[in-house]
Amino acid sequence: MGRIPAPRQVTRSAYYFLIVGVVLLSIVLYLTLFVFIYSDAEGNSTFSFGSPLSFCSSNDQHAAELAPTITTTTIIARPTHLATSAVTTTPVEASTNPEPAYCNYCTSTDEVCKRYGSFNLARSRAYEGPNARLKRVLRKVRSGQKIKIGIIGGSVSKGHGLRDHRHNWSHIYAEYIRETFVNSTSADPANVEVELINGSVGATVSQYMETCFREHIPEDVDLVIIELAINDQRLEFLAKGYENLIRAVFALPQQPAIINIQVMALMFPTITMGGDLHTAVAQYYDTPILSLRNVLLPHILRSTQLNSSDNSLENYWFHNDANGVDLRHISTNGHRMLGDLLKSFTSRVACEGWREEQSQHASLSGKDSDVVGGWDWVPYDSDRYEGLTLSLPNPNEGPQVSEYIPRLSLFQKFDHTTVLRPAIPFCRTTTTLSGNGNGLSSPYAHLLEALPAPLSTEGPDAFAMWSHPQNPGKVWLTGRKPGVKAAFKVQTSALGRVRVTYLRSGSYGLGSAWCWVDDNRNAGKRLDGHWQYKDIHVANSEVIAENATPGEHTLTCEIMKETRDPAGGTEFRIVAVDAL
Question: With bands split at pLDDT 50, 70 and 90, how would you rate the model's confidence at 84?
Answer: very low
The pLDDT of residue 349 is: 97
184 compared with 173, residue with greater pLDDT: 173
Mean pLDDT on 230-244: 95
Nearest CA-CA partner of 257 in 337, 343, 184, 346: 346
pLDDT exceeds 80 at position 298: yes
Gyration radius from the chain CA atoms: 30
* pLDDT given for residue 393 in this prediction: 66
Residue type, 290: L
Mean pLDDT of 448-475: 90
278 vs 214, 226, 287, CA distance in Å?
20, 11, 11
* Helices 236-250 + 275-284 axis angle, to 10: 40
Query: Which of the two residues, 27 and 349, has the higher pLDDT score?
Result: 349
Section 64-79 average pLDDT: 39
Give the pLDDT band (50/70/90) at residue 315.
very high
Q: Is the pLDDT score of 343 beyond 70?
A: yes
Other residues' Cβ atoms within 10 Å of the Cβ of residue 172:
18
Task: Compute the distance between CA of residue 278 and CA of residue 283 in angstroms, rounded to an integer.
Answer: 9
> Three-state DSSP class for 165?
helix
What is the SS3 assignment for 386-415? Answer: CCCCCCCCCHHHCHHHHCCCCCCCCCCCCC
Higher pLDDT, 426 or 45: 426
Give the percent of the chain with pLDDT over 90.
Answer: 63
User: Which range in 362-366, 434-438, 556-560 is most confidently predicted, on average pLDDT?
Assistant: 556-560
What's the pTM value of the predicted model, to 2 decimals?
A: 0.80
More confident residue, 113 or 27: 113
Residue pLDDT, tens place only, 404-418: 999 999 999 999 999
Instruction: Give strand ranges (E) for 349-474.
Output: 426-429, 464-466
Highest mean pLDDT range out of 191-205, 295-309, 538-552? 295-309
DSSP letter string, 553-567: EEEEEEE-S----TT
3-state secondary structure of 515: strand
Task: Kindly list the distances between the CA atom of residue 233 and the CA atoms of 207, 220, 241, 271, in Å, as whole numbers in the listed order.
Answer: 11, 30, 12, 11
Q: What is the DSSP pairing of strand 257-262 with strand 289-291?
A: parallel
Region of poorest pLDDT, from 91-100, 148-157, 308-317, 347-356 = 91-100
For residue 146, pLDDT over 70 is answered with yes
387 burial level (CB within 10 Å; 0-12, 13-18, 19+): exposed
Each residue of 366-379: pLDDT tens digit?
Answer: 776 666 555 556 66
Give the distance between the most distant pair of CA atoms in the chain: 136
Q: Is the pLDDT of residue 271 over 70?
A: yes
Among 19, 313, 283, smallest CA distance to 129 is for 283
> Confidence class of residue 383 from pLDDT cuts 50, 70 and 90?
low
Band of residue 33 on the pLDDT scale cut at 50, 70, 90: very low
Say what the pLDDT of residue 162 is: 96
